[in-house]
Amino acid sequence: MVNIHSTAIVSSKAHLGENVTISPFAIIHDEVEIGDNTFIGPKTVVYDYTTIGNNVKIFQNASIGHTPQDLKFKGEITHCYIGDNSIIHEFVTIHRGTAASLKTTIGKNVYIMDYSHVAHDCVVEDNCIIANLTQIAGHVHIYQNAVIGGNVKILQFMRIGKFCMIQGSRTINKDIPPYILAGTEEVQYGGLNSIGLRRNGFSSDQIQHIKKIYNYIFESKLNISQAKEKISAEFSNDPFAIEILAFINESKIGIISK
Amino acid sequence: MSNIHPSAIVSPNAKLGENVVVEPFAWIHDNVEIGNDCWIGPHVIIYDGARIGNEVKIYQSASISHQPQDKKYNNEETFCFIGDKSRIHEFATIHRGTSGTGKTTLGKSVLIMAYAHVAHDCVIGDNCILANAVQLGGFTQVDDWAIIGGSVPVHQFVKIGKHVIVGGGTKIGKDIPPFIMAAGEPIKYYGLNLVGLKRRGFTSDQLEKIKMIYKIIYDSHLNFSQAKEKLMNEMPEDIFAKEVINFMNLSTRGLIGK
């Protein structure tokens, strides 16, 4: 049973799951799939090649799966995926991918607040929170459980590690490794995101452990490559050390400093 | 033959060219002219005074040619011109002019990204890009090929020269002369926009010339009026020097520093 308001326009080609609500003046295009129990708010438009999971809520005036703001885009078929239980607030814009990666992906339980923008080819993993007005450029990868404050500008191709928290109103122009707080005017290492880690069930031992690793990177007088050597020598089999080193090694643009 | 959705409201006094698509719930007022092959997205409202060229695309919920946010405005008839092949993304707001100049003007092939605002009496040249959430104050001038990064606020009456690129998240309160990069807090000169200039076919000889000009302006110990005099004496016939001098003469807010 689907609940579609009489003023809404829903393409007969769109696939709607059970118990979907489509509010007044919303528009659902042809190549759209919407899962069970999902709510589409008033005036929201869902464009072609968008797949939305179950229990998703999309509020007023959002624009989902529209064509990218990229001059290289030539109308190719690309996709936009929104995972189960995600919530998308008013006036949010999420664009579909370009030929570069063919898709924009929002994970499960993601919470995106008013006026935020997620550009083409971005990946936002599960449980992330993106506060008001945050503008995310193309090809950005935000790993799981990251929290981005309000009015943050994230430049293209940036990577934000998992369980990070970024203070509001910052400009992110370098990669941010996992588990940390990033803040101050030039985005910098601000210690561990200990509250977030605790809330997510990390034990004090684990937190102490991660802190030790970051002490070598940010609090010693070593440069990054010396710190990396020291960490791999001292924590050879430690999963956190392996993870952080792998993140740093994959960074194309360098990580933030202290 | 235009394709107007039955739920859209199009005034019989509005003039629409050939092959215009008007999506659901869009609203086009009386004193509006739209060229051929335009696409007007859903929920877009185009107010009186809009003059839109050919092949323009306006995305969801954008507001075009609404009344200026200026207390001096007293319902006088003013205009908002949008050049051919321009694209205006979701929730952008472009206001028409005041009696100050009578019009707001966007050139050809301009890309205005989501949430951007172009105030009354602004003049934007051809091929400019305003990234997400850029907010232009009234009477701002943006010359051809300039690119403004995301979330940048621009003070009223500011002039931004040709081929300038401005980093995302900075604030613009002074004039930015042509051909350069500007970024930082407070905003400052960051060298030439070499990538942009090369893409547009400037030769290395030309780039060297422009570099010499900016060495005199920013890398000597002269103040701006001394630098201007030196340019007039040393490079009187150089077209780029003439252009930069002309920009300096027209500057009312002063140039950004180094």
Residue A185 pLDDT class (50, 70, 90 cuts): low
Residue A188 pLDDT class (50, 70, 90 cuts): confident
Q: Quick one: pLDDT at residue A184?
A: 65
Q: What is the spatial order of strands in the sheet that B147-148 belongs to? A: B3-4, B21-22, B39-40, B57-58, B87-88, B111-112, B129-130, B147-148, B165-166, B180-183, B188-192
Residues 116-135 of B with CB under 8 A from A: 131-133
CB pair distance less than 8 Å for B111 and A69: yes
Q: Taking a C-beta distance cutoff of 8 angstroms, is the pair B174, B154 a contact?
A: no
State the average pLDDT over residues A216-243.
Answer: 92
Structure tokens at B179: 């051909």
User: Whole-angstrom Cα distance, residue A88 to residue A130?
Assistant: 10
Q: In this complex, is the C-beta atom of B61 within 8 Å of any C-beta atom belonging to chain A?
A: yes
A113 has pLDDT over 80: yes
A199-212: per-residue pLDDT in tens?
999 999 999 999 99
Whether residue B254 lies in the annotated active site: no
Which of B60, B111, B185 is nearest residue A45 as measured by Cβ atoms?
B60
Q: What CATH topology corresponds to A3-173?
A: UDP N-Acetylglucosamine Acyltransferase; domain 1 (2.160.10)
- State the Cα torsion A12-A13-A18-A21 to the nearest 10°: -60
Catalytic residue among B53, B120, B163, B196: B120
Q: What does each C-alpha distance from B105 to A130, A159, B122, B142, B253 come to in angstroms?
A: 35, 38, 6, 10, 21
- Mean pLDDT (chain A) is 94
A68-87: per-residue pLDDT in tens?
999 999 999 999 999 999 99
Q: Taking a C-beta distance cutoff of 8 angstroms, is the pair B95, B71 a contact?
A: no
CB pair distance less than 8 Å for B132 and A151: no
CB pair distance less than 8 Å for B43 and A93: no
Sequence-distant (≥ 6) Cβ neighbours of residue A37 within 8 angstroms: A17, A18, A19, A20, A54, A55
Q: Quick one: pLDDT at residue B67?
A: 94
Q: What does each C-alpha distance from B156 to A33, A86, B93, B186 come to in angstroms?
A: 45, 39, 16, 17
Catalytic residue among B53, B125, B138, B196: B138
Number of CB pairs, chain A paired with chain B, less than 8 A apart: 75
Q: Quick one: pLDDT at residue A236?
A: 86
HEC sequence for chain A: CCEECCCCEECCCCEECCCCEECCCCEECCCEEECCCCEECCCCEECCCEEECCCCEECCCCEEEECCCCCCCCCCCCEEEECCCCEECCCCEEECCCCCCCEEEECCCCEECCCCEECCCCEECCCCEECCCCEECCCCEECCCCEECCCCEECCCCEECCCCEECCCCEECCEECCCEEEECCCCEEEEECHHHHHHCCCCHHHHHHHHHHHHHHHHCCCCHHHHHHHHHHHCCCCHHHHHHHHHHHHCCCCECCC
Whether residue B138 lies in the annotated active site: yes
Whether residue B120 lies in the annotated active site: yes
Query: Pick from A85, A178, A88, A160: which is nearest to A127 by CA?
Result: A85
Q: How far is A79 from chain B (nearest CA, A)?
A: 18
Residue A65 pLDDT class (50, 70, 90 cuts): very high
Q: By percentage, how much of chain A surpasses pLDDT 90?
A: 89
Catalytic residue among A66, A95, A117, A120: A120
HEC sequence for B39-93: EECCCCEECCCEEECCCCEECCCCEEEECCCCCCCCCCCCEEEECCCCEECCCCE
Is the confidence metric ipTM above 0.85 for this complex?
no
Write out chain B's pLDDT in tens, 258 residues: 689 999 999 999 999 999 999 999 999 999 999 999 999 999 999 999 999 999 999 999 999 999 999 989 999 999 999 999 999 999 999 999 999 999 999 999 999 999 999 999 999 999 999 999 999 999 999 999 999 999 999 999 999 999 999 999 899 999 999 999 999 989 999 999 999 999 999 999 999 999 999 999 999 999 999 999 999 999 999 999 999 999 999 999 999 999
User: Whole-angstrom Cα distance, residue B213 to residue B197?
Assistant: 15
Closest residue in A to B89 (Cα) is A69
In our burial notation (b when 16+ CB lie closer than 10 A, e otherwise), range B43-54 reads bbbbbbbbbbbb
Structure tokens at A172: 């992110």
Q: In this complex, is the C-beta atom of B89 within 8 Å of any C-beta atom belonging to chain A?
A: yes
Sequence-distant (≥ 6) Cβ neighbours of residue A92 within 8 angstroms: A58, A62, A63, A64, A112, A113, A114, A115, A116, A117, A118
Structure tokens at A199: 């809330």
Q: How far is A230 from chain B (nearest CA, A)?
A: 35
User: Whole-angstrom Cα distance, residue A69 to residue A251?
Assistant: 25
Q: Quick one: pLDDT at residue B2?
A: 85
Q: A199, exposed or middle or buried, with CB in 10 Å at 0-12, 13-18, 19+?
A: exposed
Q: Quick one: pLDDT at residue B197?
A: 98
Residues of A in contact with B150 (CB under 8 A): 135, 137, 153, 155
Residues of B in contact with A135 (CB under 8 A): 115, 131-133, 150-151
A46 has pLDDT over 80: yes
B123-177: per-residue pLDDT in tens?
999 999 999 999 999 999 999 999 999 999 999 999 999 999 999 989 999 999 9
- For chain A, the domains span 3-173, 198-250
User: Whole-angstrom Cα distance, residue B49 to residue B67?
Assistant: 10
Q: Quick one: pLDDT at residue B258?
A: 92
